[in-house]
Structure 1
């Protein structure tokens, strides 16, 4: 799993995040206020009630426990909602993803494959 450093917090995806030539579909989404500073490569889930995204954690019970997108750029949603670009499809290096508590590359791999996100 990728561990962020001060030098990795840019607004562009990590060069080694992208793997292969599988088509990548991107979209602008809203990251929920309070989600904090999220770096490119963070695995996101969608909160069912608000449709906003946060870092996916397996113990969540608001819908965000199910990963469904990869953050394409670093975003700070500490104090307010923020817009960010995410990948809804693509092939990514598992060791460059930032996974929430309770998730591992192996635990999310099959569910992501169903969404055309490949690790």
Structure 2
């Protein structure tokens, strides 16, 4: 029998958000992104392009600063929705960069809280 696996679904990580679309902004996934970024990925903004890519505190391109959480999956050059303020998210459903340590995740979670994105 075949085994079916399903990836993360759009907005599955959201517990609650502000009325209307106040928690959300539109943005472009950076051209330097390889493959697809899944919903719930913590993202930063590449300074040179103003586009979103996976947050990583080891980078020096702007993505070392948390800017939000990707609402829906996407690949390079896709326009996508990003949760950037005033919402609650399920911490266990957030996606972090490969190799993220517990301390780096805690620091990233604190940075999300500073944006008004509370991980529960």
TM-score by length of 1: 0.80
Q: How far apart in 1 are the matches of 2:82 and 2:50?
A: 14
Structure 2: runs of 5 or more not aligned: none
Aligned residues: 108
Root-mean-square deviation over aligned CA pairs: 2.0
Q: How far apart in 2 are the matches of 1:66 and 1:6?
A: 32
Q: How far apart in 2 are the matches of 1:32 and 1:45?
A: 10
Between 47-56 and 21-30, report the one with greater CA deviation.
Answer: 21-30
Q: How far apart in 2 are the matches of 1:59 and 1:110?
A: 17
Partner of 2:48: 49
Q: Higher relative CO (CA 8 A, sep ≥ 6), structure 1 or 2? A: 1
Partner of 2:31: 33
Structure 1: runs of 5 or more not aligned: none
Out of 56, 62, 79, the position equivalent to 1:83 is: 79
| Structure of higher CA gyration radius | 2
Task: Give the CA deviation at 1:114.
Answer: 1.3
Is 1:100–2:97 an aligned residue pair?
yes
TM-score by length of 2: 0.79
Aligned residues of 2:71 and 2:82 also touching (Cα < 8 A): yes
